[in-house]
């Protein structure tokens, strides 16, 4: 797949995910890009964050991304045509204080990439709301929960562990309000 200036975030995620997989690099799509996919585009992101599982050399990462037209620029990767930046935040993969994250195979067209589950993507957005009072992230978490089956018991327990019981109640109220 050739990336262009009209490539969608999902196309870039698939292209980059497949290039990483082909190079033997296990990486999980997280953050705003994941929220964009699960919210059906109601939330927009200008970058894709992948958390690498394990250790790899920067040369191996550079080579894998070069295969799809991405080149390192400082701490991120840019494409000459595609409108999305690709970043690799330091791991490990975690949401708040929870390091027990099980990525899922997210289907794009007839292929899959590793990504947070809908429940974990919802938790990721709730973490931004709980810790930085980011109301947009709360609204995105609600959109994810409306569009996908999320485990409310997991969300509740995790929210309590994060010290955000009141924030979780705000999430439930907004989710119910339609």
**Domain coordinates in residue numbering, the chain:** 9-115, 118-176
Phi, psi at 32, each rounded to 5°: -65, -35
Taking a C-beta distance cutoff of 8 angstroms, is the pair 41, 147 a contact? no
Q: What is the pLDDT of residues 85-104, one digit of tens each?
A: 999 999 999 999 999 999 99
CATH of the domain spanning 9-115: 3.30.460.40
Average pLDDT over residues 2-8: 95
Asked if omega into 92 is within 30° of 0 (cis), the reply is yes
Residue 143 pLDDT > 80: yes
SS3 (DSSP) at 162: coil
Could you identify the residue written with the tokens 């969300």?
Answer: 155
The average confidence (pLDDT) of the chain is: 96
Convert the pLDDT of each residue in 105-129 to its tens digit.
999 989 999 999 999 999 999 999 9
Q: Is the pLDDT of residue 42 over 90?
A: no
Q: Which pTM value belongs to this model?
A: 0.95
Which residue from 151, 104, 155 is spatially nearest to 125, judged by alpha carbons? 155
């Amino acid at each position: 797949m050739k990336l262009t200036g009209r490539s969608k975030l999902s196309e870039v995620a698939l292209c980059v995910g497949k290039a990483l997989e082909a190079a033997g690099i296990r990486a999980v799509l997280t953050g705003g890009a994941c929220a964009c996919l699960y919210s059906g585009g109601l939330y927009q992101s200008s970058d894709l964050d992948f958390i690498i599982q394990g250790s790899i050399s920067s040369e191996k990462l550079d080579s894998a991304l070069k295969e799809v037209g991405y080149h390192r620029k400082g701490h991120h990767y840019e494409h000459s045509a595609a409108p999305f930046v690709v970043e690799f935040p330091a791991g490990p993969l975690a949401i708040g204080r929870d390091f027990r994250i099980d990525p899922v195979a997210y289907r794009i067209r007839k292929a899959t990439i590793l990504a947070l589950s809908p429940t974990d993507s919802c938790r990721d957005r709730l973490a931004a709301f709980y810790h930085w009072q980011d109301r947009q992230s709360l609204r995105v978490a609600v959109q994810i929960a409306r569009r996908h089956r999320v485990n409310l018991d997991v969300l509740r327990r995790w929210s309590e562990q994060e010290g955000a019981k009141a924030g979780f109640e705000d999430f439930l109220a907004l989710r119910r309000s339609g």
